[in-house]
């Protein structure tokens, strides 16, 4: 039994096909449809995650220290001495 098309994919693809269909080949349109289907699936996965107003974005801390370049205010080379 064939799968029923997702109305969101159909609407987005129709928008692209109407706007740019005259400049694209059939193969390009097929590839764009696959890309739209992937984007819709990712958006669906994001919508499943429930967030409250108190949920903040994750702020990753990645310390970095580069000992090969002297710091301009801490090294004699940076002070012109």
- Tens of pLDDT along 10-24? 999 999 999 999 999
Q: What percent of the chain lies above the pLDDT cut of 90?
A: 59
C-alpha dist (Å) from residue 41 to 1, 12, 28, 61, 65: 21, 13, 20, 30, 40
Question: Phi/psi of residue 30, each to 5°?
Answer: -65, -40
The pLDDT of residue 57 is 85
Q: Is residue 81 part of a domain?
A: no
Is 38 part of any domain? Answer: yes
Res. 50: pLDDT tops 60: yes
Number of domains observed in the structure of the chain:
1
User: Domain for residue 75, yes or no?
Assistant: no
Let me know if residue 42 belongs to a domain. yes
More confident residue, 1 or 19: 19
- Which residue range(s) make up the domain with 42? 1-50
Please say whether the beta carbons of 29 and 17 come within 8 A. Answer: yes
């Amino acid at each position: 039994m064939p799968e029923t098309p997702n109305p969101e994919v159909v609407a987005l693809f129709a928008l692209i096909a109407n706007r740019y269909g005259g400049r694209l080949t059939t193969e390009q349109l097929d590839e764009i449809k696959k890309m739209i289907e992937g984007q819709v699936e990712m958006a669906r996965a994001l919508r499943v995650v429930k967030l409250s107003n108190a949920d903040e974005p994750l702020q990753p801390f990645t310390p970095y220290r580069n000992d090969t370049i002297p710091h301009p205010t801490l090294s004699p080379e940076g002070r012109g001495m």
